[in-house]
A and B are shown apart, each in its own frame.
Chain A
């Protein structure tokens, strides 16, 4: 296993278009997180899955954002009607322990540019 993988690595889209990002966690990890990181800032928590259940969502996750993790394996993050303010790096992380005690393993991120 090569770690957490994210696809695509880069996405350029026009305002108003929909985009979808995929995250494949480390295979034995049952916990999966999405974060958003803007330039020069720390990651901001978006949402958390334990297996297929979405257990926590940030206030940052507006109704234009939706995340799924069918069958508790890979996850997708969809942004509808993108806005320029959505331009950021979207990071996925996974772990086999609660993140409040254990190490998170991050992917390299999906960079979104909204024109």
Chain B
């Protein structure tokens, strides 16, 4: 089975500091997309950032950026200048063969706490 692994169940960061959430995945594919989703408490999940595997350049969306290491199958999320509103569950996801590449397979998530 193709898997997504998030090894940090919980992380904590001070407001205005930087935090990095880790994700590794397993695939034999060469061309795919990777995603980070955010799930705030009692609210719906939303897309944070997306990376195309064939692109060398790491994706950036405002304070959110990724460190994509294709050979290592690593896809970490960096949040700069952390804000209280960043507190949420963060899920790494990619379209694994387990779903026929038709749907996303999600990791188990990292709960991010932001301390004022």
Given A100-B32, A100-B33, answer yes or no on A45-B46 (Cβ-Cβ < 8 Å): no
Q: What is the interface of chain A, defined by CB distance below 8 A to chain B?
A: 3-4, 33, 35, 40-45, 48, 55-56, 58, 91, 93, 98-101, 103-104, 106-109
Contact B108 A106 (CB under 8 A): no
CB-CB < 8 A to B47: which residues of A?
103-104
Interface of A is mostly: loop
Q: List the 10 closest pairs (A to B, CB-CB), nearest first.
A: A100-B95, A42-B106, A106-B45, A106-B44, A103-B47, A56-B102, A45-B103, A108-B44, A43-B106, A42-B91
Q: How far is the CA of A33 from the CA of B37 in the complex (A)?
A: 16
CB-CB < 8 A to A101: which residues of B?
33
Q: Does B105 contact A (CB under 8 A)?
A: yes
Q: Would you give the shortest CB distance from A26 to chain B, in whole angstroms?
A: 12
Cross-chain pairs A/B with CB under 8 angstroms, 13 sampled:
A3-B44, A4-B44, A35-B106, A40-B108, A45-B103, A45-B104, A56-B100, A56-B102, A56-B103, A58-B99, A99-B95, A100-B33, A103-B47
